[in-house]
Every structure is written in C-alpha cells, then in structure tokens.
C-alpha cells in the first residue's frame, strides 16, 4: 500500500499512521490513536515499576569474642531486618591472632543462622574475605511480602477512616 493511501485511510478513520518497524523491507506501519498508545504504555511502565521488588541489604558486623548480651542484641537487629523483608549481610571481623582460628567465626555464623532459621534462609554460606568472614541471610519468600501487604492494607484503612472523619466534621449539623 502506498504512503499516500495509508495517510488518507488514517485521516478518514481519524487515527494516526505510526511506523512500527522502520528497518523492515517494506517498512511496517500501523493505524492507531498515538496519544492513547503513549498513555497506555506509560501506565504499563508505571505498573511494572510499582510491582518491582526493591532488595535492600542491611549489614551486621560482629567480632569473634562477642558477649552473650551483645550477641542477643545483634541477633534482634537481624530478626527485625528479616521481618521487614531485607537481606542481611553478617560480617565477623577477625583481629590479630583471631585470624588463625576461622573455624570459630564459622561456628558463630552458623549459630546465628540457626537462631534466625524460622525467619530467613542462608543465601550465601560463610566465606573468608581477608580479615572478615561474610554470610548473607535472605528472608523466606512470601513472609516479607505478606507483612508488607498487611501494612499497606492497614495504612489504606487508616486513611479511609480519616477521610470519613473529615467528611463528618464538614457536614452541616441540623
């Protein structure tokens, strides 16, 4: 079909002639409402961004000789991070002669992984990295998203209740 004929068809049907594949031989064009097409593609892109999961990695640093109370405090932070749906990178720092005993750091990381096993799973096993030993724990799939959905629902319900209260204040009393 010639370009003039295609343009006439587009004007008759009040649509736009949009070139879809310019490199094809012959070039491919389509009759469509271009404004509507741009709007719908922007909506799809916005929806895709909204549904995209943002992974946040929090870090918790420990020393090999950690006091039991300090360990419990650090474990509490790891539990909080996992409940929020964030990954946690746990680093055991070795100093001086501690570097000759990496198995003690490995045992500390395994103990922590066992303590939080109901909330998360070990994503990367303990690895020696210079003076540090690193392990990553990720939250269980679905646990964090369910928590996030619950928070979103409660936020929406609170906003709805607040709007209803404002409406009631503004309504004239008889």
pLDDT tens per residue, range 3-28: 888 888 888 888 888 888 888 888 88
pLDDT of residue 25: 86
With cut-offs at 50, 70 and 90, classify the pLDDT of residue 89: very high
Average of per-residue pLDDT values in the chain: 84
Rounded to a whole number of angstroms, the CA Rg of the chain reads 29
CB 133 within 8 A of CB 102: yes
**What confidence score (pLDDT) does residue 126 get?**
93
* Residues 136, 126 contacting (CB under 8 angstroms): no
| Range 90-109 average pLDDT | 93
The structural domains of the chain, ordered by start, are 3-51 (3.10.20.80), 57-143 (3.30.110.10)
Write the pLDDT tens digit of every residue in 51-63.
877 778 999 999 9
The pLDDT, as a whole number, for residue 151 is 55
In angstroms, the CA 115 to CA 72 distance is: 10
């Amino acid at each position: 079909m010639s370009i003039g004929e295609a343009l006439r068809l587009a004007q008759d049907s009040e649509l736009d002639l949009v070139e879809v594949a310019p490199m094809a031989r012959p070039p491919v064009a389509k009759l469509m409402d271009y404004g509507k097409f741009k709007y719908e593609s922007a909506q799809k892109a916005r929806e895709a961004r909204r549904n995209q999961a943002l992974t946040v990695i929090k870090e918790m640093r420990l020393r090999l000789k950690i006091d039991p109370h300090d360990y419990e405090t650090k474990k509490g932070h790891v539990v909080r991070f996992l409940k929020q749906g964030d990954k946690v990178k746990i680093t055991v720092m070795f100093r001086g002669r501690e570097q000759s005993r990496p198995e003690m750091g490995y045992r500390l990381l395994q103990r922590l992984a066992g303590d939080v096993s109901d909330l998360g799973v070990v994503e990367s096993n303990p690895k020696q990295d210079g003076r540090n030993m690193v392990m990553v724990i990720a939250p269980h799939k679905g646990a964090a998203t369910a928590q996030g959905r619950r928070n979103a629902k409660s936020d929406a319900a609170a906003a709805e209740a607040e709007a209803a209260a404002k409406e009631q204040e503004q309504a004239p009393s008889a």
